[in-house]
């Protein structure tokens, strides 16, 4: 279902719990809408981990928590890093939901404030592009810091014979 179709029911729910024009209401919507996509993203990654690695933990007497901490977490760091960058950039640049939920000027998010540089009859392109670059900097910094996680070779190579 496209996100724009969910905006009216989401607004009604947020209004029912008195979270309109608050950051907790906006965060609640972002988390709720991101859980499904994140689950499918990580599920696809976890399915590629060989079952033999799990069996080796069971043979050694390990529990499910041991499997989780010694196999799944270390092998899924690139996927978690990718998911983190996608989630951050998706919520950082989001406009429609923020415009619907946030009503007062003091609570505006950055994408809403960027639209203020566009006037009714003229657009201040210099200010608009300068503010857009400033808004893009956090995403570039996060990508630069975590880029090593993307180039991580397949750690499971050689972990299973055959």
pLDDT recorded at residue 84: 87
CATH number of 3-150: 1.10.3720.10
Find out whether 112 and 98 touch, Cβ atoms under 8 Å. yes
Q: Which of 32, 31, 71 is nearest to 50 (CA)?
A: 71
Residue 161 has pLDDT above 80, yes or no: no
Q: Is 123 helix (H, G, I), strand (E, B) or coil?
A: strand
Measured between alpha carbons, how far is 100 from 12 in angstroms, rounded to an integer? 11
Ordered by start, the domain boundaries in the chain are: 3-150
pLDDT tens-place string over residues 63-110: 999 999 999 998 888 888 889 888 998 899 899 999 999 999 899 999
- Is the pTM higher than 0.85? no
Backbone angles phi, psi at 159, to 5 degrees: -80, -20
């Amino acid at each position: 279902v496209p996100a724009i179709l969910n905006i009216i029911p989401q607004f009604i729910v947020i209004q029912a719990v008195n979270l309109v024009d608050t950051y907790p209401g906006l965060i609640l919507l972002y988390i709720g809408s991101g859980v499904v996509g994140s689950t499918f993203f990580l599920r696809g990654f976890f399915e590629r981990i060989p079952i033999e690695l799990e069996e080796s933990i069971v043979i050694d007497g390990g529990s499910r928590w041991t499997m989780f901490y010694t196999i799944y977490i270390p092998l899924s760091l690139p996927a978690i890093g990718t998911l983190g960058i996608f989630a951050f950039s998706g919520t950082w640049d989001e406009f429609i939901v923020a415009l619907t939920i946030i009503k007062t000027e003091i609570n505006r998010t950055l994408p809403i404030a960027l639209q203020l540089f566009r006037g009714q009859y003229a657009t201040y392109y210099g200010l608009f592009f300068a503010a857009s670059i400033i808004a893009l900097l956090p995403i570039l910094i996060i990508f630069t810091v975590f880029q090593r996680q993307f180039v991580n070779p397949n750690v499971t190579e050689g972990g299973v014979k055959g």
